[in-house]
C-alpha cells in the first residue's frame, strides 16, 4: 500500500474581503432586479461549510412570462434592429468587465459551488471572458461564418444550465445567442446561482438594452416553465440526459429549436508507448479535476495490459499527494462536492462498485468534518457490463480496465450509451488518427485532457446530446440560414 506523504503545505487561502454579496438576490428582468410575484426565496449554501451565503428569488410561471415578454420586446424593438457592430461592442464590454472583476468572480464561484480557487481563477473565469471576446468578434462578421447565406436570429432563446461550471456555461450560452441577435431568458442551476447574478450586474453596468438578457433562478419547475413557454423560439440546455429527453419530448411538434449538451462517460486510453508519467498526470486531470463534476470527465480508464501495473501504482502514489479540502486554498486540488444530493449519488455508486465485485483504492486524505467531500477513488477488477462502467457518476470515481489491442479498446470505448469526449495517450500519431476516427465521441484529446477553446466546437454523439457549442458550429445553432 502506498504511504501518505508526511508533510503538508501551509494554508494559503484566497481572501474574501474584496467580494460584495447582497443579503438577497432578486430576478433580473427587463434590466432591473425585481422580486418574484410570489416573493419566494431559497438559500444558496457554501458546500464546503454548509453555511448559508445568501438567498435568491425563485421564479414562478408568471415571472417567466414576464421575462419572456421583456425578451420579446427587446428583440422586436431593439436588439434585432441594432447594427451588428453595435451589438458586438456590448459583448466586448461584458468581456472586459468580467476580466476586470475576475478575482471577485473566482471567489464567488468557489464559495457557491465548491470548486478549487485555482480552477475558478485559471479556468472558469478566463474561459468565460474568452467566450464573450470570441463571440463579440463574430457579431458583425456572420457573413464570413456562413458565406453566401444570410444568418437571421431565431428570436427569444430559453437557456438552462447546470451547476458544474456555472459562469462558464452562462458564457457558453449567452455569448453566441447575443452575437447572432437573439434575446435570452437564462436559468442557472439551483445550487449555483451567484455568479450569474453578478453577471447580471455586469450586464447592467455594460448598459445592455433592458430585456436583452433576463436571468431567473429556481429549480426544475422554473426550467419547465421556460421549456414550455409558447413564445420561446429555442431551448439551449446543458445538463443531464434525463432532463434532455424530457425537453426533446416537450418541444416536439412545437417548432422550437433545441440544442442539448448532456452527460458523458469518456474513455481515456493509455497505450504502452505513451509517456507514462505525463499520462498519469493526464488521468488525474481527466477524472479528479473539478471533483469529477465534468460532463467530459475521463471516467473510464483503459490501460494497455503491459503497462497496467506501472500506471496503476503511479496513479495510486499520485492520488496520495492530492490535496482535498478548503476550496479557497490555492494549494487545494480537490474541493467540495457541489451538494449533499450529489455526494449521496457518488456514495451510492461507490457502494454499487463494491457490490459488483470491484476492488477499490482511495487516497487516505483527511476530510473536513463539515461540508460535502469525497476522496479520490479508483476501481479495478470491473468489467464493461458493470453499472459503474456504464453510468455517469459525476464525481471523483474512476473505473479502470485493461486491453491488449487497438481494435479491442475501440470496441470497449464505443460500448457506451454516451459519446461526448475521450482521450488517447500514445507516442504514435498513427494510433491517434485511428482511435480518434473510430471512437464515436464529439471531442477526443490526444496526450492531454480537458482543454477548451471558444473557437472549437464541443458537443456529443448518442445520448450525450444534440448540436454543438463553440466555434461556427455553435453559432449555427442560434441562426436561421436563408
Residues labelled as active-site residues:
261, 295
162 sits near ligand NAP (criterion: CB under 6 A): yes
219 sits near ligand NAP (criterion: CB under 6 A): yes
Among 465, 467, 470, 477, binds ligand NAP (CB under 6 A): 465
Q: Is 169 helix (H, G, I), strand (E, B) or coil?
A: helix
Among 64, 189, 324, 393, binds ligand NAP (CB under 6 A): 189
Site for ligand NAP in 388-417 (CB under 6 A): 392, 394
Give helix 220-228 / helix 61-74 axis angle, nearest 10°. 50
Nearer to ligand NAP (CB atom), residue 95 or residue 169: 169
Encode burial over 80-118: b for 16+ CB neighbours within 10 A, e otherwise. eebebeebbebbbbbbbbbbebbebbbbbbbbbbbbbbb
The one segment of 139-147, 236-244, 309-317, 370-378 that binds ligand NAP by CB under 6 A? 236-244
C-alpha cell read off for 343? 455526494
Among 114, 264, 371, 422, binds ligand NAP (CB under 6 A): 264
Q: Which residue is nearest to ligand NAP (CB)?
A: 223
Burial class of residue 15 (count of CB atoms within 10 Å of its CB; 0-12, 13-18, 19+): exposed
By the 8 A CB rule, do 98 and 74 touch?
no
Least distance in Å: CB of 438 to ligand NAP?
A: 21
Rounded Cα distance, 303 and 402, in Å? 5
The one segment of 22-30, 42-50, 414-422, 424-432 that binds Mg ion by CB under 5 A? 42-50
Least distance in Å: CB of 266 to ligand NAP?
A: 10
Among 26, 58, 112, 463, binds Mg ion (CB under 5 A): 112
Tell me the number of residues near ligand NAP by CB under 6 A: 28
114 sits near ligand NAP (criterion: CB under 6 A): no
Q: Is the dihedral of CA 353, 358, 363, 365 positive or negative?
A: positive
CA dihedral 76, 79, 82, 85 (to 10 degrees): -160
The one segment of 71-79, 98-106, 261-269, 300-308 that binds ligand NAP by CB under 6 A? 261-269
Among 93, 131, 187, 198, binds ligand NAP (CB under 6 A): 187
163 sits near ligand NAP (criterion: CB under 6 A): yes
261 sits near ligand NAP (criterion: CB under 6 A): yes
Encode burial over 430-465: b for 16+ CB neighbours within 10 A, e otherwise. ebbebbeeebbbbbbbbeebbebebeebbbbbbbbb
Nearest to 64 by CA among 175, 230, 196, 193: 230
Which of ligand NAP, Mg ion, none does residue 160 bind (CB under 5 to 8 Å by kind)?
A: ligand NAP
Give helix 194-205 / helix 84-100 axis angle, nearest 10°. 120
342 sits near Mg ion (criterion: CB under 5 A): no
Residue for cell digits 507516442? 427
β-strand partners of 270:
303, 425
Least distance in Å: CB of 196 to Mg ion?
A: 12
Name the site residues for ligand NAP (rule: CB under 6 A).
160-164, 187, 189-190, 219-220, 223-224, 227, 238-240, 243, 246, 261-264, 295, 392, 394, 420, 460, 465
Amino acid at each position: 500500500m502506498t504511504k501518505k506523504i508526511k508533510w503538508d503545505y501551509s494554508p494559503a487561502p484566497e481572501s474574501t474581503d474584496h467580494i460584495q454579496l447582497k443579503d438577497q438576490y432578486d430576478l433580473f428582468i427587463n434590466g432591473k432586479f425585481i422580486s418574484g410575484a410570489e416573493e419566494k426565496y431559497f438559500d444558496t449554501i457554501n458546500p464546503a461549510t454548509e453555511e448559508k451565503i445568501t438567498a435568491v428569488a425563485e421564479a414562478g410561471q408568471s415571472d417567466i412570462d414576464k421575462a419572456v415578454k421583456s425578451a420579446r420586446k427587446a428583440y422586436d424593438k431593439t436588439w434585432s434592429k441594432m447594427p451588428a457592430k453595435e451589438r458586438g461592442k456590448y459583448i466586448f464590454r461584458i468581456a472586459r468587465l468580467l476580466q476586470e472583476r475576475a478575482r471577485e468572480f473566482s471567489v464567488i464561484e468557489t464559495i457557491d459551488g465548491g470548486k478549487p480557487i485555482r480552477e475558478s481563477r485559471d479556468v472558469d473565469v478566463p474561459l468565460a471572458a474568452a467566450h464573450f471576446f470570441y463571440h463579440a468578434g463574430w457579431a458583425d462578421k456572420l457573413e464570413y461564418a456562413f458565406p453566401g447565406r444570410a444568418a437571421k436570429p431565431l428570436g427569444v432563446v430559453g437557456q438552462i444550465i447546470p451547476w458544474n461550471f456555472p459562469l462558464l456555461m452562462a458564457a457558453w450560452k449567452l455569448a453566441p445567442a447575443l452575437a447572432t441577435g437573439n434575446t435570452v431568458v437564462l436559468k442557472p442551476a439551483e445550487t449555483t446561482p451567484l455568479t450569474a447574478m453578478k453577471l447580471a450586474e455586469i450586464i447592467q453596468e455594460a448598459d445592455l438594452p433592458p430585456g436583452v438578457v433576463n436571468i431567473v433562478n429556481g429549480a426544475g419547475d422554473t426550467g419547465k416553465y421556460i421549456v414550455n413557454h409558447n413564445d420561446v423560439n429555442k431551448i439551449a440546455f446543458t445538463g443531464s440526459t434525463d432532463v434532455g429527453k424530457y425537453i426533446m419530448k416537450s418541444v416536439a411538434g412545437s417548432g422550437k429549436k433545441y440544442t442539448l449538451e448532456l452527460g458523458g462517460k469518456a474513455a481515456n486510453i493509455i497505450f504502452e508507448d505513451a509517456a507514462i508519467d505525463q499520462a498519469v498526470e493526464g488521468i488525474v486531470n481527466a477524472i479528479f479535476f473539478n471533483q469529477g463534476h465534468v460532463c467530459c470527465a475521463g471516467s473510464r480508464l483503459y490501460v494497455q495490459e503491459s503497462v497496467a501495473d506501472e500506471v496503476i501504482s503511479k496513479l495510486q502514489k499520485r492520488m496520495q499527494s492530492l490535496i482535498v479540502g478548503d476550496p479557497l486554498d490555492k494549494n487545494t486540488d480537490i474541493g467540495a462536492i457541489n451538494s449533499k444530493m450529489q455526494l449521496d449519488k457518488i456514495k451510492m455508486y461507490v457502494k454499487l462498485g463494491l457490490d459488483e465485485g470491484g476492488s477499490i483504492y482511495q487516497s487516505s486524505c483527511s476530510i473536513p468534518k463539515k461540508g460535502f467531500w469525497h476522496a479520490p477513488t479508483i476501481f479495478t477488477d470491473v468489467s464493461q457490463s458493470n453499472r459503474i462502467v456504464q453510468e455517469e457518476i459525476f464525481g471523483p470515481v474512476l473505473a479502470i480496465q485493461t486491453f491488449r489491442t487497438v481494435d479491442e479498446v475501440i470496441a470497449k470505448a464505443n460500448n457506451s450509451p454516451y459519446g461526448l469526449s475521450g482521450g488517447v495517450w500514445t507516442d504514435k500519431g498513427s494510433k491517434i488518427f485511428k482511435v480518434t476516427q473510430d471512437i464515436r465521441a464529439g471531442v477526443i484529446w490526444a496526450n492531454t485532457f480537458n482543454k477548451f477553446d471558444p473557437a472549437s466546437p464541443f458537443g456529443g454523439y448518442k445520448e450525450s446530446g444534440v448540436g454543438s457549442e463553440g466555434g461556427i458550429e455553435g453559432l449555427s445553432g442560434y441562426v436561421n440560414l436563408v
